[in-house]
Chain A
């Protein structure tokens, strides 16, 4: 089968048009199967109990295409565009949400880095809240990418720290230290994935193709910083709280059974904005920037402050540094 040759199996869409598109071998296989499912769906649509509306039929077809879609890194530009259109339409059909999903690539000459000032952080957790809203994190299970550890002055030991403090911060005699995905230069979570659903982008961000992830959670076992979260159930975000500005590799809607993580707000930072956590921080404890830009603030911090990273002995080379004034 040639790359452009065989027309896809014609699938009757609700409005009666034919969906025709060029396919390669893998696509053809998916479409072949899609044809079967569409047939089954059409057959079942005849049954009175299952008499589905055009939307329901469209949903079934789109869901099948979603199930058989390629790995993101193997998609061509046009396939990416089509995939994103499909996901946008699915969000509309499923949750009545109007979202726009970007596929912006890493910008050349950019390598993201983060520095966290432990003398400035007051433990307010504005970053945590901003992150939840920005990244459409599951409200039902209270998923959080950022963890703020409250520690007694003089001891840096996560085991004795309290990440779930409920009292007003800052507490007397304590300091605060935030963790999230450190986007390691040598990420232990990436090679363990049996299906290659997670990888590091050229700008240093470790991302996941949520559609490709099979949910085995090997990456969660491999992460030394407890940065990854799993969708134990279908995530819930109230429709009026959904952030519609999304990225395929970032904050778009997840399904149950896939792993997710902090992406340094890939949908913002690839457009030159700060991550939501850095923007929300009222104390200026969070410094984010391009490590390849010698004039960036992050480079100044790395050059002029006493810095350290968590679990250096594991050789993960986090691109997330701690420093103090």
Chain B
């Protein structure tokens, strides 16, 4: 009864809205359709329609995957303080973080699918039991397990809490807190595992570095919270959902620290590669300076690093960081900068030159660009749906119609009216 009401409510929540909302969802759908068409072209003809080849055998898809795993992992930056440390400021924002994690994971899995030609159902071979999951040997097998597990965790926890609120009950801590602790460790693990996927390959000296794991974490904890700050900024400007300014301040500080750590690691890598260059530095030389006429990535990485440095410097100056407008721009710059640095800036140079020294450059084709855009649109679509469903429940506007008492008034805390509502939320906003 409640479940049906919940599903009906969710359907209504995502299908009704003002013109701006419909325009937004409509454009996302259009881009997704374009991406779907490109995906079909790729499934039909094979990956020959992409820019990848035997030399550069991973491209835009795996680049985006590596980046988005970081964005997903960064939910821990809010989950940890909100649930474990009981930080009041983060109690409202944590739902958004979990939403971002879910949509980032959907995109990650989408990119993993897109990277393998043909149709997704061939992945039945990964299913333990009927297929063969090469675990624990294969880092990719680990990644599949971790990504799916993290997806389930990040769907389960907020859904449970939201649903409990929807049916006017208090979420039971013993039911979800163990999973919260799991998700904290899981978040760090998914990103480390993704780093190890690259770092474990001795064939590619550019990735084969002990620094890669920590660097992945640092950049994830830069890009993820930066994305959260942008989203919170949007929510605060456009809804009544009360996220205290303190949450943004704290996130901004966390982002700044992570961005600094990321730059320190970048410096460390640059010194390592270029102070006494060896044959193993050649990929780094290709990335940062180009090899003769082969310099496709140079403008990208330089822009990315410039964005990172500029944004980090801005964030380090307190008055600038506290200015919401400047903060938004800095976060957007960081997000883009990390996307370049950890996406194509990490994946493609690993393949240039090939292990036998041949230099073949990579340029994505329209098919890859459309599939990539389509998957990003899918992620944004999922995020919008999640936020759209979650916010009214958390605002107390949406309650199951089968509850005995009428749903509480807008924004009102039902504490006095219904004593058992006391502290219904894990987030205390006092």
Contact = CB atoms under 8 A, between A and B. Distances in A.
User: Is chain B found bound to chain A in the same assembly?
Assistant: yes
Contacts of A179: 356
B57 A257 contact: no
17 contacts: A159-B279, A161-B357, A163-B356, A179-B356, A191-B134, A191-B137, A196-B132, A196-B134, A197-B125, A215-B116, A215-B118, A216-B116, A218-B138, A221-B203, A257-B116, A257-B118, A316-B202
Nearest to A163: B358
A230 B115 CA distance: 13
A67 interface: yes
A192 B140 contact: yes
Interface stretch (B47-55, B238-246, B397-405): B47-55
A29 interface: yes
A316 B203 CA distance: 10
A224 B117 CA distance: 24
Contacts of A218: 138-140, 197
Given A191-B138, A218-B138, A71 B132 contact: yes
Contact of A195 (B55, B134, B200): B134
A40 B125 CA distance: 23
Chain B interface SS verdict (over half) = loop
B139 A220 contact: no
Interface stretch (B1-9, B16-24, B155-163, B347-355): B347-355
B131 interface: yes
A188 B133 contact: no
B141 interface: yes
A231 B356 contact: no
Nearest to B204: A221
A45 interface: no
A222 interface: yes
B138 A192 contact: yes
Contacts of B126: 194-195, 214
Main secondary structure of the interface of A (DSSP, over half): loop
B144 interface: yes
A218 B134 CA distance: 13
A74 B131 CA distance: 10
B325 interface: no
A147 B140 CA distance: 29
B201 interface: yes
B234 to A, nearest CB: 35
A196 B140 CA distance: 11
Given A194-B141, A226-B54, 18 more contacts: A71-B125, A71-B132, A143-B54, A158-B356, A159-B282, A163-B356, A194-B134, A195-B141, A216-B140, A221-B57, A221-B201, A221-B350, A224-B355, A225-B203, A232-B47, A232-B52, A256-B48, A257-B118
Interface in B44-88: 45-48, 50, 52-55, 57-58
Contact of B116 (A192, A214, A228): A214
Contacts of B204: 221
A287 to B, nearest CB: 22
Contact of A221 (B50, B58, B131, B144): B58
A45 B130 CA distance: 30
B203 A224 contact: yes
Contact of A216 (B55, B115, B132, B201): B115
Contact of B356 (A149, A217, A229, A314): A149
B125 A195 contact: yes
Contacts of B115: 216-217
A212 interface: yes
Interface string B132-172: 11100111110010000000000000000000000000000
Contact of B131 (A193, A195, A223, A314): A195
Interface in A153-196: 157-161, 163, 179, 188, 191-196
A67 B134 contact: no
A197 B357 CA distance: 27
Interface residues of A, number: 49
Contacts of B430: none
Nearest to A149: B356
A21 interface: no
Interface string B274-292: 0000010010000000000
A194 B133 contact: yes
A273 interface: no
Contacts of B47: 215, 230, 232-233, 257
Contacts of B52: 232
Interface string B338-362: 0000000000001101111110000
Interface in A237-294: 256-257
A139 interface: no
Nearest to A217: B57
A228 B354 CA distance: 12
For A29, A141, A197, A220, which residue has the most chain B Cβ atoms within 10 angstroms?
A: A220
B333 to A, nearest CB: 30
B241 to A, nearest CB: 40
A212 to B, nearest CB: 6
A188 B279 CA distance: 20
Contacts of A81: none
Q: Which 3 A-B pairs have the closest CB atoms?
A: A159-B357, A224-B203, A233-B48
A107 to B, nearest CB: 26
B122 interface: yes
Contacts of B48: 141, 232-233, 256
A188 B357 contact: no
B203 A214 contact: no
A243 B228 CA distance: 58
Interface string A36-59: 000000000000000000000000
Nearest to A25: B130
A13 interface: no
B46 A232 contact: yes
A218 B126 CA distance: 14
Contacts of A147: 356
Contacts of B53: 232
Contacts of A159: 279, 282, 353, 357
A18 interface: no
B139 A214 contact: no
A67 B122 contact: yes
Given A224-B203, A226-B354, A256-B46, A194 B118 contact: no
Interface in A109-158: 141, 143, 147, 149, 157-158
